[in-house]
Structure 1
Amino acid sequence: MTTHNVLPPYEGFDGQFINGTWQAGSAGRVLKDTNPYDGTLLTEIAMADQGDLDRAYEAARRAQRDWALTMPKERAAIFHRALANLAGRKEEIVSWIIRESGSTRMKATAEYEAIVAGMAEAVSLPYMAHGSIVPVDRAGKEARVYRKPVGVIGVISPWNFPLHLSNRSVAPAIALGNAVVLKPASDTPVTGGLLLAKIYEEAGLPAGVLNVVIGAGSEIGDAFCAHPVPRIISFTGSTEVGQRIARTAAGSATLKKLGLELGGNAPLIILDDANMGKAVEAALVGRFLHCGQICMSTNRIIVEDGIYDAFLEAYCAAVETIKVGDPNAPDTMVGPLCNASQVQSVTGLISSGVQQGFELRVSGEVDGHIVPPHVFVGVTNGSRLAQSEIFGPVAPVIRAKDEAEALRFANDTEYGLSSAIISEDEGRAMRVAQGIEAGMTHINDITIHDYPHLMFGGEKNSGLGRFNGHWIVEEFTTDHLVTIQR
């Protein structure tokens, strides 16, 4: 059996990482980073101002020129070393994710595994920047298309899967010869940014190729997106903020490409020939993993009439068994929400559902940041409860009279990120899947999946662009045509 050496824990999460140095931010304010479960102080970070942001982008611009000229094996070696260090730091990383984002141990472990998979995929990316030779209708003329890095990429990441959703952009950007300035969410400055900087620093990444700025969105958010240096802004977060980023970037002095992975309202369609066990498990895990604070979470459970009552009985019984509380306990499924504003938002949606007269079949008392599972039944698809991205442990169950109505309900939303179908008839499920207006659909599985080699992205107001595999190679590189007349 293979064993890994445990490395000394990382220290010094109290400032910015700019041009390979750890330094205090210049904003004159301190961000207190606390545990959402028990309120304990994790660290205090001297925040960045626009001057720090300028220095970070300039460091990235300078470093990228040399980094783009490195051999593919040199870039791949960074990720090999990062993988070795990750293996020796598993518990340290999992513990940080639990303490900073309120993740349960099962979710934090899954996020660690996603980071490892993303690093492993990045090893091959330097070799995937393929060019081409294109025929031309002229004697003696040759056309070559070279694929090159774009330059500097600005990455803004969210708090729900902070380490993974930062690295999902950072790793391929670096692997393809770009430099990065990363701004993590203020709720997760360590797991969303500073921890990642430590990992890459330890792996030997040259100074300036990755920079991390911790600052208030109200102070440096617009400047981050409008700055003249980055050619791409890669953002994961809410649709509202994504739309603001698009408007801000459009006003920049330099044209920018946007990669936006935004909100979702994932439908889980349970057809009347579904296996009951599969249906209940998909609705349970898909809705309540990480308290529903995942863009791909099952936001609406749409059940065909013939199986509706039986499903409700089995599902509600299963939800009642979910362990709620300490996120560090191995069998806890629902821990704390990330912050007080999330609690307010989710409890507001619960009140809205009650006021609209929907039956609250499962509920519980809110305790601090912990909101126990709630199940509403008989929900109408046009209601606020069904049309909102809930981002909390609240499950709306909707009855559909037949397959056609289930599909119509699934598509009746401004979002189009993920979706799923439960059915024992593969042909029928595939027919429904082809009719769903979403970037991703999973048959007989949960709505939550993100594999580093498979396309990830949404339609409608769920975003622009694609992540992972050769799709991210196309997003994070540019083509250069060179012709030769002989």
Structure 2
Amino acid sequence: MVNFKLLNKQYISGEWKDGTSNRQLIDFNPYNNEVITTFTCASLKDVDEAYRSAKEAQKKWQHTNPIEKRAVFENAVKYIEENKESIENIIIEELGGTKLKAAFEIDLVINIIKEAATYPFRMEGKILPSPVDGKENRLYRIPVGVVGVISPFNFPFFLSMKSVAPALGAGNGVVLKPHEHTPITGGTLIAKIFEEAGLPKGLLNVVITEIEEIGDGFIEHPIPKVISFTGSSKVGKHIGEVAGRHLKKVSLELGGNSALIVLDDADIDLAVSAAVFSRFTHQGQICMSANRIIVHEKVYDEFLTKYVRKVASLKCGDPRDPETIIGPLMNERQVQMIINLIETGIKEGATPILKGEVKGNIVEPVIFTDVTPDMTIAKEELFGPVVCIMKVENDQQAIEYANNSDFGLSGAIHTSNIERGAEMAKQIETGMIHINDGTINDEPIVAFGGEKNSGLGRLNGSWSLDAFTTVKWISIQHTPRKYPYS
């Protein structure tokens, strides 16, 4: 079994080494607050070396045979499959994921790597006609060069790999900065996987540090042409602003306030299962989680009874226990934010018909009814095991409630009339919406992304290929061209 807790170094220029900062980063287990390991942070000097390394290594990687590139990704998948138990353990220890969540995340990672393995064979060009006689227009798809990736703490293994693997597959160099609370799962674990897979040294670099140490230096550095960020809308707006000043392209996957709608002709048992999964998977720490359950008044009582019964049965506690569904939130700050939102909801008139206890970083489920669209808990992203149940009279009111949000990431509609659901889905302002399913979906070849404050751009499949490449126009004048003043 591989001990990934030993991966407490920077990975720069193909070498494992301490950062040059005087600052220490302590990696804690969110369930028991034990120290997993300690890093010496990267400084701006280390960030500069990482970017320069990626730029230099990319020159050769861009022209490497596609079959050789694909083999690296195949080796990466093989390494993950052979070390699945060790990877599950570090996901459980470092971010408090349950065994179910860890297995789910690893499967997502494997699928996105397999998709990235196809990119070297999809760097296709075009020949286009011209209004000029004798001219041939060639369009070449080429890598942008170097991509900077910043990932969050909730699904760090997948949400890092979701940008890292496609960027590499498209022929780029990459510098990855994982969240400071998940430096292994979101960072050095990925470096180890690609090192073992045979990726050329220097092409992928991982810097472990804190914003207090490097400020905006990771974004402002002149080498990266694309910054791919997954995280909060507040930070995403700042990154977009800074990148815009330096004319860098950004991919921003940000927060959500997804609505799951249950219509009067829905399969209630299915809707309950989907709604529970959509809210309480990984303690609700998923941008696609269903914060708001919007239920037609005709089925409201039946849905609510079954939903409360199901949620009350969810086991909370130690994520190492295979029976646990709800483990710890990431840290005390996240816990306090959720406590504040719960208290605000009660003050504003919402009724907590189920209100669990807070035990350390474990927040037991809270279900609010009597929620109106103007309440804080209906407007804010609830990044924890708290949910709002809202009653509506008809389809139009359900649409209005769903759209009454600054976010627009995911959503779901439950109905026995597929076309009714599809027509409603078209009217809901969100990047993704699923009929008779949950709000949590991510597939490697389907466009993923949000509207409004939920982000810019799309990833997965051909959309990731577009995000991490550019197009160059090369024209050839085969016959002499006549110019007006020659």
- Equivalent position amino acid for 1:483 in 2: S
How high is the TM-score relative to the length of structure 2? 0.97
1:9 to partner: Cα distance: 4.0
Distance in 2 between the 1:188 and 1:374 partners? 26
- Equivalent position amino acid for 2:123 in 1: A
Structure 1 residue 188 and structure 2 residue 194: aligned?
no
What residue in structure 1 maps to residue 285 of structure 2? 293
Secondary structure of 1:396's aligned partner: strand
Secondary structure of 1:397's aligned partner: strand
**Residue of structure 1 aligned with 2:348, choices 356, 367, 381:** 356
What residue in structure 2 maps to residue 3 of structure 1? none
What residue in structure 1 maps to residue 407 of structure 2? 415
1:107 to partner: Cα distance: 0.6
Distance in 1 between the 2:401 and 2:346 partners? 21
What residue in structure 2 maps to residue 83 of structure 1? 77
Aligned partners of 1:101 and 1:338 also within 8 Å: yes
Secondary structure of 1:398's aligned partner: strand
Secondary structure of 1:279's aligned partner: helix
Distance in 1 between the 2:167 and 2:132 partners? 37
- Equivalent position amino acid for 1:237 in 2: G
1:10 to partner: Cα distance: 4.3
Distance in 2 between the 1:364 and 1:440 partners? 31
Q: 5+ unaligned residues in a row in structure 2: which ranges?
A: 479-486
How high is the TM-score relative to the length of structure 1? 0.97
- Equivalent position amino acid for 1:58 in 2: R
- The range that moved more, 153-162 or 137-146, is 137-146
Distance in 1 between the 2:345 and 2:31 partners? 26
Matched residues, percent identical? 48
Instruction: Detail structure 1 runs of 4+ shifted over 2 Å in the superposition.
Output: 7-12
Distance in 2 between the 1:82 and 1:29 partners? 32
1:123 to partner: Cα distance: 1.4
1:14 to partner: Cα distance: 1.9
Aligned partners of 1:13 and 1:190 also within 8 Å: yes
Aligned partners of 1:184 and 1:214 also within 8 Å: yes
Aligned partners of 1:60 and 1:179 also within 8 Å: yes
Distance in 2 between the 1:282 and 1:10 partners? 34
1:11 to partner: Cα distance: 6.0
What residue in structure 2 maps to residue 475 of structure 1? 467
1:251 to partner: Cα distance: 2.8
Aligned partners of 1:286 and 1:447 also within 8 Å: yes
1:138 to partner: Cα distance: 2.4
Aligned partners of 1:261 and 1:462 also within 8 Å: yes
- Equivalent position amino acid for 1:360 in 2: P
Distance in 2 between the 1:11 and 1:412 partners? 44
Report 1:6-405 matches (<5 A): 8-10=2-4, 12-252=6-246, 255-405=247-397
1:329 to partner: Cα distance: 1.4
Structure 1 residue 429 and structure 2 residue 429: aligned?
no
1:114-149, Cα deviation, whole Å (9 max, x unpaired): 111111111111111211111112222110100000
Distance in 1 between the 2:186 and 2:377 partners? 30
- Equivalent position amino acid for 2:91 in 1: I
Residue-pair matches, total: 478
Distance in 2 between the 1:320 and 1:280 partners? 13
Aligned partners of 1:13 and 1:45 also within 8 Å: no
What residue in structure 1 maps to residue 440 of structure 2? 448
Distance in 2 between the 1:380 and 1:129 partners? 50
Q: 5+ unaligned residues in a row in structure 1: which ranges?
A: 1-6
